[in-house]
Amino acid sequence: MSERQELLIEYAATSRAFSDAVERLRNLSADAEAFIRALADAGTAHRTCERSRIKLDKHLRAAIA
């Protein structure tokens, strides 16, 4: 498997994890502590997804250059 494919798979997985974390936030409104934990999880998932996107972007830019 090529590095590009691996990076795309990683990005897709981290994007889904972020999406799932945000979806959990939508479903939590009554329990403030659970919402705060879910918000922290969403933040972590967002940062992980962003790092994955940056790695993919760098790879694609290098391939173009």
Structural domain range at position 39 = 3-64
CB 17 within 8 A of CB 45: yes
Buried b / exposed e across 48-61, counting CB within 10 Å, b at 16+? bbeebeeebeebee
Per the listing, tokens 């997804």 go with 49
Task: Provide the pLDDT for residue 31.
Answer: 84
Domain count within the chain = 1
Task: Provide the pLDDT for residue 40.
Answer: 96
What value does the mean pLDDT take over residues 56-64? 94
Judged against a pLDDT cut of 90, whether residue 57 lies above it is answered with yes
